[in-house]
Structure 1
Amino acid sequence: MEQTNILNQGIYKTFFKYVSLNVLSMLGVSLYVLADTFFVANGVGADGLVALNLALPVFSLINGTGLLIGIGSATLFSIATGKGERGAGSRIFTQSFLLGAVLGVILTLCGIFLNQPIAMMLGANGDHIISMTSTYLKLLMVFSCAFILNNLLVAFVRNDGNPRLAMFGMLGSCLFNIVFDYIFVFPMQLGIFGAALATGVSPILSMVILSSHFFRKKNHFRLKKTRLNAKELISSVLTGIPSFITEFSSGIIIFLFNMVIMGIAGDIGVAAYGIVANLALVCIAIFTGVGQGIQPVVSVNYGAGRMGNVLRTYLLGAALAFVLGGLFYLAALFFPDQIASVFNSEGNGQLQALTRDGLSIYFFGFLFAGVNVVTTSFFASIARPKPSFLISALRGFGLIVPCLLLLPRAFGLSGVWMTGPAAELLTFICCVAFMLSFFKKHRVRVPKPLEAN
């Protein structure tokens, strides 16, 4: 059984196996919207970028709902497995599947009947922008069940010892999205409708690939008739809340930024932020991949009482996230014009300048964001939702809102770009304090040699 391998294999080998595959999986998720951004920017223009960016908070809500259910329930599954409770998988999976389907249907109905009011609530104005935004929202929300259940299936397949299949599912759907984004937007001239259609169908392909896991002899979960365990379901949701906040807060931040930027720089400023925000989502997705990669390793070792491996796995994840964050910042610092021009086919000078400035300032926050995301995932992995929730809330709402209220008043649009880095830095300080307190309380020291189990 894979959980036994996690306990018996060297921690470095296990860490890099799970983290590398999960980073690739989450990269596939993030490229859904980035592919839309690229093809809409080049096939529709700046107005399409505005509409796409206004719709992003809803995508974050849908994806966050999938993570809420998937990460929370899969974490309980791993902890139960580490304790030797091998019959829990199917029960937890079935309950979570039903909850995900119900929430997906609700979001689908909202997309069908309320897409235009939602578009206007998100800041769309003018008939053209409202029409494009509501079109993208309607199609995206129709596929809510697919997005949510795909996130659930990815989490369970990964935690059931098949991270490679989880990666193939996500990358396969990503490739489908890129290819059909091109086909629908350019040869078929379907515009933003085509971009949304390609994105919506993609998770269905992922689920088809992931469903092959049910035919494995080592599969430890499947849909089965089971009695609803309200306590267990609530526990899984509470465990998944930090992942939901991490994802959904991205959407809330985008919404708040859109409102502030609209007042400072108008639609062209929102278009510039759309480019910055979509690139930022890719970086956050990679950090989330690191966090989700350490989750099964931390959960199983925690369930087995091996706190030395728990600490070592966290430190490896935090170090990797910090290095990746540094690389992202250096790329934005030294190549902002080259990056911006990829999404500026019209050669709009104002769009180019705003995007360049935004990249060089906003990406400084990724020096700290990766460690913050990994720390959030760590506490969720050991079923400690309170510190995980607090960290998520700080970087998602608690610090962003006051910074966004104060910094633009002093620095204008540059203050908007500075908001993210300021919030991430302050959250990072809190993360360091939380981790020192946690391991001091448990009196954990890294055992030697480092490869020992």
Structure 2
Amino acid sequence: MCATIVPNNLASQPQENRILSGSISSNFFALFIPSIIGLLAFSSASLIDGIFVGNFVGAQALAAINLLIPFINLLFGIGYMLSVGGSVRGGKYIGEGRFDLASGVFSKILILCMSFSIMVVIVGLYFEDHLYRALGANDELIPLMSEYFRIRFPFMIAEMFIIVMYYFVRIDGFANFSAVGILVASVINVILDYVFVAEFQWGLAGAAWATGLAQACAVLYFLSYFILKKRKLSIRVKQQHWLEVFQASFNGMSEFINEVSASLIAFILNWLLIISVGTNGVAAITIINYLLLVGIMVVYSISEACQVFISQNFGAGNIQRIKQYALVTAMACAVTSGVFIFLLLGFTDEMIAMFLNDTSEAAAQLAHEYVAILWPIFLVNGFTISISAYLTALHAAKESAAIALSRGIILPVIFIMVLYYYVPSIPFLWALPIAEGLTFVLAVMLFLRNPPHKHMPAIKHD
């Protein structure tokens, strides 16, 4: 890794930061649009794989991929925790004009994430058979999982690099640059999926190669960030004060909890569905996950825009702008909820048909049943996720983590087990919208109890 150094006079001649002074609505769209493009493109790797695999390989192959998702998401959760927490710390430094400290955080997060991903890939491939069994796979699904995992997993190193670069490049003011990089990878993924899966009939191996090579192209794109003249961040291999990484990571704990909880809930649901309805149940919930993924990514785009804006204005002490932006965020969440509920309920057949061919009627029927249960999640999840991001940006890590824990682990697990074992007459999937509603109540309470000025004295200016 090259040690690129920012010119010494950069910190003394900062560019005008429009996030600290521009129009609130203009800032929202300037941050949200690149974010939604980037996140939808980033998540499209699994979405596109799902469409091609479901139509050209079959429902069992779709189920095999879904069984691997909890493990992969768990590992990415580490990357998100480090990247989000580090970028919030970096955004605060940028808001204060201390670009050298922001570069230090960036360098340490990148070095740590790369080291972690290399180690995990080596260990994961060595113990792959044990991993498949632990994830609940039967003899029918293990060969399919292995076909996909052995090719896709080494590219996790590239994906971890992209996660770090995506968040830090955005916080540096190059949101469009980040979005274009992810979008290019998404387009390449679509093309390669068509060629490898539809034309060459390579099956799950083709889907894995398509995703991996697309991510490798994104790595090359993000490396070009280091030749941009107006960038504020640089990589310095020699670093001190590594404790700061763990302090920053704590502020990204809610993002880690979100990923870990998604992995845990997916594991539990896969296990219960295999017991109760078999492989078709896993294939059906995989389709629902893909449908929900698009809406969730829009919500996360709103929350990411919120995080960038608030973290920098928090560092600059602009309390009034933070309050104004919170109102704009709430309005955006309300619109998003209405649109996605309409699409989910109004075009259910068309959406499910994208992922399955005509031979998978049982999985399609189960998918219809699951949509009817899970759509209420969108009534409140946008507000809950955005409040968690708002609290993270204010360095209220405990409050943000409390929301993430309640939404992602504690309440869903409790209600899933209660419904499955004690109230079997009610489908256990109802646990997810119930948990979402109760977490929303908690999130609103924490939002009202944590105005921006409450946390200003808690941040020490080193």
Tell me which interval the TM-score lies in, with the shorter structure as reference length: over 0.9
1:49 equivalent among 62, 71, 74: 62
Written as runs of structure 1 = structure 2, the 5 A alignment for 1:273-352 is 273-352=285-364
1:82 equivalent to 2:70? Answer no
Q: Deviation at 1:274?
A: 0.8
Do the aligned residues in 2 keep the contact of 1:3 with 1:161 (CA within 8 Å)?
Answer: no
Give the AA of the match of 1:72.
G
Looking at structure 2, the residues matched to 116 and 401 of structure 1 have their Cα atoms a distance apart, in angstroms, of 27
In 2 relative to 1, CA 45–443 (structure 1 residues): closer, same or farther, beyond 3 Å?
Answer: closer
TM-score, normalising length: structure 2: 0.91
Give the AA of the match of 1:369.
N
Q: Which stretch of structure 1 is more off in the superposition, 406-415 or 271-280?
A: 406-415
In 2 relative to 1, CA 413–295 (structure 1 residues): closer, same or farther, beyond 3 Å?
Answer: farther
Corresponding residue number in structure 1 for 2:46: 33
Written as runs of structure 1 = structure 2, the 5 A alignment for 1:69-108 is 69-108=82-121
Do the aligned residues in 1 keep the contact of 2:319 with 2:453 (CA within 8 Å)?
Answer: no
1:19 equivalent to 2:32? Answer yes
Q: Deviation at 1:247?
A: 2.6
Do the aligned residues in 2 keep the contact of 1:368 with 1:428 (CA within 8 Å)?
Answer: yes
2:73 equivalent among 60, 65, 74: 60
In 2 relative to 1, CA 355–412 (structure 1 residues): closer, same or farther, beyond 3 Å?
Answer: farther
What percent identity do the matched residue pairs reach?
27
Looking at structure 2, the residues matched to 200 and 91 of structure 1 have their Cα atoms a distance apart, in angstroms, of 29
1:431 equivalent to 2:443? Answer yes
CA RMSD of aligned residues (A): 1.9
In 2 relative to 1, CA 14–246 (structure 1 residues): closer, same or farther, beyond 3 Å?
Answer: same
Q: Deviation at 1:3?
A: 6.5
Q: Deviation at 1:412?
A: 4.8
Looking at structure 2, the residues matched to 440 and 243 of structure 1 have their Cα atoms a distance apart, in angstroms, of 20
Q: Deviation at 1:334?
A: 2.2
Looking at structure 2, the residues matched to 414 and 106 of structure 1 have their Cα atoms a distance apart, in angstroms, of 43
Do the aligned residues in 2 keep the contact of 1:21 with 1:163 (CA within 8 Å)?
Answer: yes
Looking at structure 2, the residues matched to 315 and 434 of structure 1 have their Cα atoms a distance apart, in angstroms, of 16
Do the aligned residues in 2 keep the contact of 1:21 with 1:293 (CA within 8 Å)?
Answer: no
Do the aligned residues in 2 keep the contact of 1:239 with 1:380 (CA within 8 Å)?
Answer: yes
Corresponding residue number in structure 1 for 2:229: 217
Give the AA of the match of 1:100.
C
Looking at structure 1, the residues matched to 149 and 383 of structure 2 have their Cα atoms a distance apart, in angstroms, of 32
Corresponding residue number in structure 2 for 1:171: 183
Do the aligned residues in 1 keep the contact of 2:251 with 2:396 (CA within 8 Å)?
Answer: yes
Gaps of 5+ in 1: 445-453
Corresponding residue number in structure 2 for 1:449: none
Looking at structure 2, the residues matched to 364 and 322 of structure 1 have their Cα atoms a distance apart, in angstroms, of 13
Give the AA of the match of 2:61.
G
In 2 relative to 1, CA 35–412 (structure 1 residues): closer, same or farther, beyond 3 Å?
Answer: farther
In 2 relative to 1, CA 267–92 (structure 1 residues): closer, same or farther, beyond 3 Å?
Answer: same
**1:30-57 CA distance string (max 9 Å, x none):** 1110111111101110110110111111
Do the aligned residues in 1 keep the contact of 2:388 with 2:400 (CA within 8 Å)?
Answer: yes
Give the AA of the match of 1:129.
L
Looking at structure 2, the residues matched to 52 and 267 of structure 1 have their Cα atoms a distance apart, in angstroms, of 12
Written as runs of structure 1 = structure 2, the 5 A alignment for 1:343-382 is 343-382=355-394
In 2 relative to 1, CA 129–2 (structure 1 residues): closer, same or farther, beyond 3 Å?
Answer: farther
Do the aligned residues in 2 keep the contact of 1:39 with 1:182 (CA within 8 Å)?
Answer: yes
SS at 1:399 equivalent: helix
In 2 relative to 1, CA 230–443 (structure 1 residues): closer, same or farther, beyond 3 Å?
Answer: closer
Looking at structure 2, the residues matched to 440 and 58 of structure 1 have their Cα atoms a distance apart, in angstroms, of 36
Corresponding residue number in structure 1 for 2:170: 158
1:123 equivalent to 2:117? Answer no
SS at 2:427 equivalent: helix
Looking at structure 1, the residues matched to 196 and 26 of structure 2 have their Cα atoms a distance apart, in angstroms, of 42
Looking at structure 2, the residues matched to 43 and 228 of structure 1 have their Cα atoms a distance apart, in angstroms, of 51
Q: Deviation at 1:414?
A: 5.9
Do the aligned residues in 1 keep the contact of 2:274 with 2:281 (CA within 8 Å)?
Answer: yes
1:190 equivalent to 2:202? Answer yes
SS at 2:99 equivalent: coil
Q: Which stretch of structure 1 is more off in the superposition, 214-223 or 414-423?
A: 414-423
Q: Deviation at 1:120?
A: 1.4
Q: Deviation at 1:94?
A: 1.2
Gaps of 5+ in 2: 1-13, 457-462
Looking at structure 1, the residues matched to 338 and 398 of structure 2 have their Cα atoms a distance apart, in angstroms, of 29
SS at 2:269 equivalent: helix
SS at 2:148 equivalent: helix
TM-score, normalising length: structure 1: 0.93
SS at 1:183 equivalent: helix
1:268 equivalent to 2:283? Answer no
Looking at structure 1, the residues matched to 425 and 261 of structure 2 have their Cα atoms a distance apart, in angstroms, of 21
Do the aligned residues in 1 keep the contact of 2:169 with 2:175 (CA within 8 Å)?
Answer: yes
**1:128-180 CA distance string (max 9 Å, x none):** 31011123223232112111111000111111011001100111111111111
